[in-house]
Homo-oligomer: A and B are copies of this chain.
Amino acid sequence: MTDILVINPNSTVAVTEGLDQAVQPMRLPGAPAIRCVTLSEGPPGIQSQRDIEAVTGPLCRLIATESAEETASAFVIACFSDPGLFAAREVTNKPVVGIMEAGMLTAMSLGQRVGVVAILPQSIPRHIRAFRAMGAMDRVVGERPLGLAVVELGDESRTQDRLLATARTLVHQDGADVVVLGCAGMARYRPMLEADLAVPVVDPTQAAVGFALTAMQFGLRPRRF
**A53 close to B50 (CB less than 8 A):** no
Interface residue SS majority, chain A: helix
**Interface with B: A37-45, A129-137, A151-159, which one?**
A129-137
Residue A62, interface by CB 8 Å: no
Residue A178, interface by CB 8 Å: yes
**Interface with B: A6-14, A67-75, A103-111, which one?**
A103-111
- CA distance in complex: A29, B123 (Å): 41
**B113 close to A109 (CB less than 8 A):** no
Q: Could you mark each residue 149-192 of chain A with 1 if its beta carbon is under 8 Å from any beta carbon of chain B, else 0?
A: 00000000000000000000000000101100000000000110
- CA distance in complex: A26, B225 (Å): 28
A122-B225 contact given A130-B133, A132-B132, A218-B210, CB 8 Å threshold: yes
Chain B residues within an 8 Å CB radius of A56: 50, 53-54
Chain B residues within an 8 Å CB radius of A110: 215, 220-223
- CA distance in complex: A203, B206 (Å): 22
- CA distance in complex: A26, B220 (Å): 13
10 tightest CB-CB pairs across the interface, nearest first? Answer: A210-B214, A29-B30, A28-B30, A133-B133, A112-B125, A25-B217, A122-B225, A53-B56, A49-B87, A105-B105
Excluding A132-B134, A207-B214, A214-B214, 9 further A-B contacts by CB distance (< 8 Å) are: A29-B29, A110-B223, A111-B125, A129-B134, A132-B133, A177-B225, A178-B223, A199-B223, A210-B214
